[in-house]
Amino acid sequence: MKGRPLVLVGRREANLLETRARCIAAGASPSKVTTVAVDVTEVHAADLIVSQTMREFGMLAALVNNAGLARFAALEHAESTDWQRMIETNLLAPAALISKTIPALRRSRGAIVNLGSIGGLLALPGRAVYGASKAALAHLTRSLARELAPEIRVNAVLPGAIDTEMYADLGLSPEETDRLRAEMVRTTPLGRMGTVDDVVPWIELLLGPAGEWVTGSLIVVDGGRSC
């Protein structure tokens, strides 16, 4: 994907600027990497992202929906506000962005990759609403693959336990988080949590020439945990 303009989107501007710097260090032209600091669940976020992209670059060839939120709790103890935030972040925000990018992606015959989770495949206590939101994203992916073909390809990557800062934002105590991470390693046949580098090549594959005859696919990248 080198050489293509990049629009980085996220809630925290400092993190966006750090990511932008990494992209430039890896060879991206500073003039081709821009940032949009916005919460994708906000009402006009999709309009802002698309309008800024088109204003700066005049085209849009790919969309990667990577925002995600997880809150783990038994349903009888879960907060309804957490349910709403998970549905908004994991399902409604990607749907809104896809909706707003369709005209530009049709013109470029572009591609969409949604970042789901094996949580949408596995039935696990304490994760019913999270899993339902990710299962819904998988269904959205497959439905839109038919709806938007042949001009736009739509696929999803479903990671397993990936070692990111997300684990500090689950609403769990440090002890509970440590136990959760240990359990995920124990139940993963390849014996470790994944890394970002385990996932990114699959996104690149689906967006690149090797993915030109792939749409409606859900690519599981989980160290064997869901098998």
Given 72, 83, 130, 202, which residue is catalytic?
130
Residue ranges of domains in the chain, CATH in brackets: 66-221 (3.40.50.720)
Q: What is the pLDDT of residue 2?
A: 59
**For residues 81-110, average pLDDT:** 97
pTM of the model: 0.94
**For residues 138-150, average pLDDT:** 98
Q: Edge-to-edge, what's the strand order for the sheet holding 62-65? A: 62-65, 111-115, 153-159, 218-221
- Does the pLDDT at position 3 exceed 80? no
Q: Tell me, yes or no, if 130 is annotated catalytic.
A: yes
Dist CA 184 CA 128 (whole Å)? 17
- Does the pLDDT at position 212 exceed 70? yes
* HSE-CB of 150 using CA atoms within 13 angstroms: 2
In angstroms, the Cα distances linking 103 to 49, 94, 214, 224 are: 14, 16, 20, 38
Q: Report pLDDT digits (tens) over 170-204.
A: 878 889 889 999 999 999 999 999 999 999 999 99
pLDDT band at 1 (very low <50, low <70, confident <90, very high): low
Q: What is the pLDDT of residue 73?
A: 86
In angstroms, the Cα distances linking 161 to 19, 83, 185, 192 are: 22, 21, 8, 9
Q: Report pLDDT digits (tens) over 27-62.
A: 999 999 999 999 999 999 999 999 999 999 999 999
